[in-house]
């Protein structure tokens, strides 16, 4: 080993070695304790005092919490239900994805009587219009025809009124991604020959066949407008949305529909593209084709037809629920303001009741900052507890409403965090004045208080 790496022994070490003794033990270095900032200890002590004060006045604490709990619970319940509805509506009306649009005489959503009259003056969309779109639209992958009517459907001695009867081309099963859980769809030959066959929804099975198993319904017969149809398939159950069923329908081949319900019905042309990024270009092509057939140009106020995607329903739903959001926020804001006023009043009462305590603390050296922190933390603690209770109450209310009314439910973590955060903010705002008043008390005057 190199001598440069050796260290010279000290005089004490030399003496110990000459006496035959051992070297003194080397003490390990002591670990330095990590000291937290003083504000941490002050805040923790204030938190303990706040919990003690709340436990000592349980009834007053409960009454103070009511306003905060109501406000937070209202927001949580409505946000939870509407978020669930948002998801359900989006999945329902986007079931065809973003690759399908329709061409029709009237828009799917009409908001006024004047618009209804104006749209009814348009020319009907006919089979030749659908054929022109299918032939000339190079970006259109699939096209289909749908015609709608309402009728009474009978089976045996049972009947169901106001059933939606749809005349479809076979391609509509692919465009709408219809899932047939029993039986089959009709064939090209059956469609071309106008066979009296039908694919029915789950409500038809429930109402006319006593909810029999789907495979047992296949092969049964039903009557529509005096004409008998053979059930060859049962579609997947779709359920309800906003209380309206989506399973009360009978689907028949379009040529059969023409014979039964007259050909003087305006059609709806469904168009599907392979990729969603081709949708806008395909819409432009279809729009140009239909404008040419109607003798219209882009400068005309009315094209004479409506070209839409399923987003029209989602936009309508969002515009309706946005008002619910505004009303809910207003109710919650009023409740939280009332709750904040109650918290401020209770904190002022607490300052008055504990004036002597404040004087003693100041007399033994407590700073204004410590007193301010104590009462501010107490206000935040009580409103944060109210926020947590409001979140729990809101979720429980949302679950109850969802079960009672059949609404979907989507629990959201951010809404819970927002509820507690807002309630804590109310505590800070409402506790500032009482805390400042407590910290400004003169210790001599405070000690004289009874």
pLDDT in tens, 251-268: 999 999 998 887 678 999
8 A C-beta contact, residue 199 and residue 232: yes
Q: How far apart are CA 103 and CA 307, in angstroms?
A: 5
The number of residues in the chain equals 450
Q: What is the mean pLDDT of residues 33-42?
A: 59
Asked if pLDDT for residue 184 goes beyond 50, the answer is yes
Residues 6+ apart with CB under 8 A from 324: 78, 82
CA separation, residue 135 to residues 154, 241, 328 (Å): 39, 36, 51
Residue 169 has pLDDT above 90, yes or no: yes
Residue 330 has pLDDT above 60, yes or no: yes
Q: How confident is the model at residue 338 (pLDDT cuts 50, 70, 90)?
A: confident
Asked if pLDDT for residue 337 goes beyond 50, the answer is: yes
Q: Rounded to two decimals, what is the model's pTM?
A: 0.65
- Helices 38-56, 58-93: axis angle to 10 degrees equals 100
- What would you measure as the largest C-alpha separation in the chain, in angstroms? 127
CA distances from 102 to 107, 262, 287 (A): 9, 22, 11
Q: Give the mean pLDDT of the chain.
A: 82
């Amino acid at each position: 080993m190199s001598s440069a790496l050796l260290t010279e022994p000290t005089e004490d070490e030399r003496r110990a070695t000459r006496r035959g003794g051992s070297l003194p033990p080397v003490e390990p270095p002591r670990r330095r304790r990590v000291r937290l900032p003083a504000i941490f200890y002050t805040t923790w002590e204030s938190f303990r005092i706040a919990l003690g004060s709340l436990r000592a006045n349980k009834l007053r604490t409960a009454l103070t919490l009511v306003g905060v709990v109501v406000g937070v619970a209202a927001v949580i319940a409505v946000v939870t239900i509407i978020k669930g509805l948002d998801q359900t509506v989006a999945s329902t009306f986007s079931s065809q994805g973003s690759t399908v649009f329709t061409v029709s005489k009237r828009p799917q959503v009409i908001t006024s009587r004047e618009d209804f009259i104006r749209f009814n003056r348009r020319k009907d969309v006919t089979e030749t219009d659908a054929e022109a779109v299918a032939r000339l639209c190079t970006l259109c992958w699939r096209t289909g025809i749908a015609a709608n009517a309402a009728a009474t459907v009978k089976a045996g001695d049972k009947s169901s009124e106001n059933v939606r009867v749809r005349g479809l081309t076979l391609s509509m099963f692919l465009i709408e991604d219809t899932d047939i859980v029993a039986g089959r769809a009709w064939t090209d030959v059956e469609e071309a020959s106008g066979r009296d066959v039908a694919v029915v929804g789950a409500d038809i099975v429930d109402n006319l066949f006593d909810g029999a198993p789907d495979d047992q319904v296949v092969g049964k017969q039903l009557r529509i407008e005096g004409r008998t149809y053979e059930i060859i398939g049962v579609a997947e159950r779709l359920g309800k949305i906003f209380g309206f069923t989506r399973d009360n329908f009978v689907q028949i081949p379009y040529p059969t529909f023409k014979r039964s319900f007259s050909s003087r019905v305006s059609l709806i042309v469904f168009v599907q593209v392979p990729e969603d990024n081709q949708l806008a270009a395909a819409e432009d092509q279809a729009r140009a084709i239909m404008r040419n057939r109607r003798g219209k140009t882009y400068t005309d106020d009315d094209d004479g037809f409506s070209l839409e995607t399923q987003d029209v329903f989602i936009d309508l739903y969002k515009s309706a629920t946005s008002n619910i959001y505004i009303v809910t926020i207003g109710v919650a804001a009023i409740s939280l303001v009332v709750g904040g006023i109650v918290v401020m009043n209770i904190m002022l009462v607490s300052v008055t009741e504990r004036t002597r305590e404040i004087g003693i603390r100041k007399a033994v050296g407590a700073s204004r900052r410590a007193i301010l922190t104590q009462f501010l933390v107490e206000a935040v603690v009580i409103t944060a507890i109210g926020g947590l209770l409001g979140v729990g109450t809101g979720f429980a209310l949302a679950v109850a409403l969802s079960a009672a009314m059949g609404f979907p439910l989507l629990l959201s973590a951010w809404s819970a965090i927002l509820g507690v955060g807002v309630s804590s903010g109310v505590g800070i705002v409402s506790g500032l004045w009482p805390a400042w008043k407590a910290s400004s008390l003169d210790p001599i005057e405070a000690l004289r208080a009874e």
